Chains A and B, each alone.
Chain A
Amino acid sequence: MTPTLQLFLIVSAALFCIGLLAALSRRHAIFILIGIEMMLAAANLNFIAFWRFTPQAEQATGVMVAIFSIAIAAAEAAVGLAMVIAIYRHYRTTNVDQLDQLKG
């Protein structure tokens, strides 16, 4: 049997949930960024899978959305890592539990 759309969606759901796990349960800021990048990659996988399984493939809509999404994810990674470095300079820590200056 060849893989159907369902299988691709289940794999991408698993990748999304592993990213969610990394973003929610790790306390290091870089781990949280890694988790967010994994969730974005799972969304891209969904876009490409839906594009491949529709008959109107020559319009290339899913491919275009995936390319723009990769560009935005790269911008997000650059700004996020710059913020991690700036936070580390100020507080000498990257543990998000210790960054509680705004706590009421």
Chain B
Amino acid sequence: MNSVAFIVIAILTLAAALAAASLPKLIHAALNFAVTFVGVAAFFFLLGAEFVGLVQVFVYIGAVAVLIVFTILLTRRDVDKDRGFNWSGVVVAVAVFGGLVWAILGTPSLPVVAPEIPALPVKRIGEVLMTSYVWPLQCVGLLLTAALIGALILVMEDREEVKKVK
């Protein structure tokens, strides 16, 4: 594993994440959110999970980021009004980060170097998905269907309200 690539990807990902969390304009934050997920996908490629990296790019940048931008445009009138920032969240986040780093550095079995493993082809992922993980796969399919129908029903306009407006 290349340490230069690791450092570059880590700096890009964390800088974009910080920008997404702190920029006042919502649309800039959404674009930095997309860059953050490019960085996470690059981490997946670095770790040898190319399929998950591609899924990450398709799902997050292709779907979720576009969905967020559409929501920002639909609720646009409100965007520039609230600039509130709660500083107690910074304290909580720094405390959690300190606790996590303390736990990671205190675990003696963690500093291992990556072992040599065979590459994971997509064919193997498909086989595993259709044999040992077939019930989770069906459950996720059901969950996605229910979630998308629920999202549609949530944003459907009330018939009576539409009539009143007319």
| Contact surface of A with B, Cβ cutoff 8 Å | 1-11, 13-28, 30-31, 33-35, 37-38, 41, 44-45, 48-49, 51-55, 57-60, 62-64, 66-68, 70-79, 81-86, 88, 92-95, 97
A71 partner residues in chain B, CB cutoff 8 A: 59, 140, 143-144
B residues whose Cβ falls under 8 Å from a Cβ of A: 1-3, 6, 10, 13-14, 17-18, 20-21, 26, 29-30, 33, 36-37, 40, 43-44, 47-49, 51-52, 55-56, 59-60, 63-64, 67-68, 71-72, 74-75, 77-79, 81-82, 84-90, 92-94, 96-97, 100-101, 104-105, 110-115, 117-118, 120, 124-125, 128-129, 133, 136, 140, 143-144, 147-148, 150-152, 154-155
Task: Flag if B128 contacts A64 (CB, 8 Å).
Answer: yes
Decide: B93 and A86 in contact? CB cutoff 8 A: no
Q: A26 touching B118 by the CB < 8 A rule?
A: no
The 7 closest A-B pairs by CB, nearest first: A25-B89, A24-B89, A75-B147, A57-B117, A22-B21, A82-B151, A27-B84
Sampled A-B contacts (27; CB under 8 Å): A1-B3, A3-B1, A5-B112, A14-B14, A17-B93, A21-B90, A24-B86, A26-B86, A27-B85, A30-B68, A31-B29, A38-B36, A41-B40, A45-B43, A48-B47, A48-B49, A54-B115, A58-B124, A60-B128, A67-B129, A71-B59, A73-B64, A78-B148, A84-B71, A84-B75, A93-B78, A94-B75
Q: Which residues of A contact B100 (CB under 8 A)?
A: 13, 16-17
Nearest-CB distance from A104 to chain B (Å)?
21
Are A70 and B55 in contact, with the CB atoms below 8 A?
A: yes
